[in-house]
Chain A
Amino acid sequence: MSRLQVVSGKGGTGKTTVAAALALALATEGKRTLLIEVEGRQGIAQLFETEALPYEERKIAVAPGGGEVYALAIDPELALLDYLQMFYKLGSAGRALKKLGAIDFATTIAPGVRDVLLTGKACEAVRRKDKAGRFVYDHVVMDAPPTGRITRFLNVNDEVAGLAKIGPIHNQAQAVMRVLKSAETAVHLVTLLEEMPVQETVDGIAELRAARLPVGRVVVNMVRPQVLDAAELELVRTVPRTALARSLSSAGLGGARRGGNAERLVDPLLAQAEEYAERYALEQEQRSVLGELDLPLHELPLFAEGMDLAGLYELATELRKQGMS
């Protein structure tokens, strides 16, 4: 099991939710995980129903069996000062840099410095050991940028190492790349059973592989329950409308004759079934596209009432059941 688990996915696929559930799942049985947020949206705090996370590692949940989940929302600006402090003991020079706009520059404009800091912080947490020489975190889960940017994001250190050919930044960048390209890391992609997210997942995996970054698993999120199976859908197409009307009527929904309450339900219900059938066929198609990727595939159910803390624990249990942790 890789110690750094990076979770990406197209916008709107619920990658933050999956990352949080994975952190919970990995923390069960007395383990400790760190869940890292890099995009400054405070999505983790919302999921765990706590106040906004500061830039510090803090315990946000207890997993079944006594494990602990810590969370960290990385603030790029503070991370840079932190980083400068750690490596160069800059002190007042750091403040001077800030005054000059150098920190702003570095975290928003300069090539990838921001991404270097984010990946660097994650790798630091992965490698951190306590006094007894044990890893502080059993696993680090990163809620990473979306699929469209993930390869570039993870690969930024390669580019930086090429730009800064010598010096501490060069060395740091190379050290980070060693972790990211090793079996210590796994990059998971979250998708929905829809055309565009699946296409993006397929493209994203090709990019990750081309950059020799370790691809982990594909998680299909928000899978809708199957209400009608293929045989039933076939029956819907052949059953006479009057028979449906009678059946609706016998269920207590009014008259089956033309214009009766039950009869008037037939058309809209059939229209909804047709939409369902179309979606069902599309979903099957996307499933087979994902199947061709030859990667472990996981499916997580849709929570119709929206995601909450209880749902998160359910997803964690589901991930454990499916052997993702």
Chain B
Amino acid sequence: MSPDATPARETDRSSGQPQEAGRRLAPARVLDVDPLLDDPKTRIVVCCGSGGVGKTTTAAALGLRAAERGRKVVVLTIDPARRLAQSMGIDSLDNVPRRVKGTEEDGELYAMMLDMKRTFDEVVEAHADPERAAAILSNPFYQSLSAGFAGTQEYMAMEKLGQLRARDEWDLIVVDTPPSRSALDFLDAPKRLGSFLDGRLIRLLTAPAKLGGRAGMKFLNVGMSMMTGTLGKLLGGQLLKDVQTFVAAMDTTFGGFRTRADATYKLLQAPGTAFLVVAAPERDALREAAYFVERLAAERMPLAGLVLNRVHGSGAGQLSAERAIAAAENLEDARIVDQGEGKAESRNSPETHGSSDPAEPTGVSPGASDGTSAAPSDDTSADSSDDSPAGSPSGSVAESADAVDRVTAGLLRLHAERMQLLAREQRTRDRFTARHPEVAVAEVPALPGDVHDLAGLRDIGDRLADNRRELPEPGA
């Protein structure tokens, strides 16, 4: 990667406006996804993280963005939510990359969903002669193994990634990792399968065919028969025979499974690969993210940064939660007092409602002395035209003013809740940053709803790439 395309850059901490404190988490380094996606040397982007953080959506949004920025992209998803597949205009994703329609800028985007069994079958068909392949495919042990028991999904995801890369048809492959109990399974699986297939157990299981009658192997044969005897007792003779047949067929037809798994693993370590750890600003998700960051470093896998989804912002960050609550209480107390003393009308009459009237008991707070009192009469003209809300043509002024105060108090409480959420997200984020200051972070502002179409994915992509200090106005 060229130095100017480095995805992370130092940000100017001093540029944040003081009144925005608490609005925006201040990362030490900002992850710029566009240079990463644009760099022709970036060939694989792997999105990993714990479940429920928007990993698949992030992968799809990155893929779309890269395609619309001129790269030919394939997104490999693993078990996406149906709606997400639909958002890419594909009712059912299968094991073959399908062109996604409706991309802009002539972007070429393909999407596919991993079909474990199909992928496994293809591996067998590609590496065994037809007769042997048929024997493997009809083996009951194989059928169970390939249909998706623990681990198979991970191996097949790696296998598919290797295949896609080998075809060299796409500039960029974006992969979403399987929804494992731990994202680390994705890294561990190939090694485990490799070491198993190369291991002594396999040799033992296949021993009857290979070692039979050879001199000097007597000891091993004794051990073997004891072991197969035990396993036979345990599993039932038929299953053991199925396993043996399967293993023998696998072993003789593509003993190079380990080589392939190793090759894919090396591919992941290569400079053309970028890992993105996806998380939400929640304690558990970020704890997993930190763990994953450490693990990637230990495996010498290239980490591009952290994508932090669903970060909240506020356009009114200058108003703290405490002040918002105090103000809401002011309004609610005033209502009670008003109702008791029948003063509602006078309090809300044009003469006394004035925001800057120094005589107003609930008036300007010390923090708000920004010169508004200099022109107290400015809003009165607007007031008269707006004083009667459309909803209360004949209702008493007191009642409607009460209703407005109630709504205002509600808005203030809503805001207080939002500010508390922001503070919490920041604390969680800071804990991660303190532990891993080297990790660049891209924050994605939260959307109120789910993504349903390409426009939604594009929006996510925009939010992902947008590193302005200012968050877009919520709802704007």
Which A residues form the contact surface with B (CB < 8 A)? Answer: 10-13, 39-41, 43, 84, 88, 90, 93, 96-97, 100-102, 104-105, 108-112, 114-115, 145-146, 148-149, 152, 156, 159, 163-170, 194-197, 199-200, 225, 227-228, 232, 234-236, 238-262, 264-265, 267-276, 278-279, 282, 304-306
Contact = CB atoms under 8 A, between A and B. Distances in A.
A112 B378 CA distance: 75
A257 B355 contact: yes
B204 interface: yes
B192 interface: yes
Given A100-B201, A168-B233, A250-B353, 13 more contacts: A10-B51, A88-B233, A88-B234, A164-B239, A167-B233, A234-B391, A254-B365, A256-B379, A260-B372, A267-B315, A269-B316, A271-B476, A278-B448
A235 B391 contact: yes
Contacts of B334: 250-251
Contact of A200 (B81, B353, B408): B81
A96 B188 CA distance: 24
Contacts of B144: 111-112, 159, 163
A168 B391 CA distance: 75
Given A256-B379, A269-B412, A304-B424, A168 B473 contact: no
B52 A13 contact: yes
A251 B401 CA distance: 13
Contacts of A108: 150-151, 192, 196
Interface stretch (B95-103, B124-132, B164-172, B320-328): B320-328
Contacts of A250: 330-331, 334, 347-348, 353, 355, 360, 362-363, 405
B387 A255 contact: no
8 contacts: A40-B181, A96-B223, A163-B140, A168-B233, A262-B368, A272-B418, A279-B448, A282-B449
Contact of A265 (B319, B331, B365, B420): B319
Contacts of B372: 254-255, 257, 259-261
B105 interface: no
Residue among B284, B285, B328 facing the most chain A CB atoms (10 A cut-off): B284
Contacts of A41: 181-182
Nearest to A96: B227
A264 B368 CA distance: 12
A111 B144 CA distance: 6
Contacts of B90: none
B51 to A, nearest CB: 2
Interface of B: 50-53, 79, 81-83, 140-141, 144-145, 148-151, 179, 181-182, 192-193, 195-196, 199-201, 204, 223, 226-227, 230-231, 233-239, 242, 280, 283-285, 314-316, 319, 323, 326-328, 330-331, 334, 347-348, 353-356, 360, 362-365, 367-368, 370, 372-373, 375, 378-379, 382-383, 386-387, 389-391, 401, 403-415, 417-418, 420-421, 424, 448-450, 473-476
Main secondary structure of the interface of A (DSSP, over half): helix
Contacts of A40: 181-182
B196 A104 contact: yes
A145 B140 CA distance: 25
Nearest to A16: B284
B448 A199 contact: no
Contacts, number: 316
A64 B199 CA distance: 52
Contacts of A111: 141, 144-145, 149
A279 B328 CA distance: 22
Nearest to A267: B315
A159 B395 CA distance: 70
A89 to B, nearest CB: 11
B382 A242 contact: yes
Given A246-B353, A275-B475, A101 B233 contact: no
B149 A257 contact: no
Nearest to B405: A247
Given A41-B181, A247-B408, A238 B234 contact: no
B424 A305 contact: yes
Contacts of B200: 100-101
Contacts of A227: 410, 413-414, 417
B314 A268 contact: yes
A241 B373 CA distance: 20
A257 B375 contact: yes
B77 to A, nearest CB: 13
Contacts of B79: 148
B415 A269 contact: yes
B83 A195 contact: yes
A255 B411 contact: no
Contact of B328 (A100, A251, A272): A251
Given A41-B182, A255-B370, A243 B193 contact: no
Contact of A254 (B53, B355, B476): B355
B437 to A, nearest CB: 23
Given A104-B196, A254-B364, A254-B365, A148 B474 contact: no
B206 to A, nearest CB: 13
Nearest to B428: A306
A97 B227 contact: yes
B336 to A, nearest CB: 14
A307 to B, nearest CB: 8
Contact of B364 (A96, A252, A274): A252
B238 A165 contact: yes
Nearest to A304: B420
A246 B401 CA distance: 10
A88 B234 CA distance: 9
A160 B201 CA distance: 21
Contacts of A269: 316, 411-412, 414-415
Contacts of B449: 195, 278-279, 282
A236 B407 contact: yes
A196 B450 contact: yes
B364 A163 contact: no
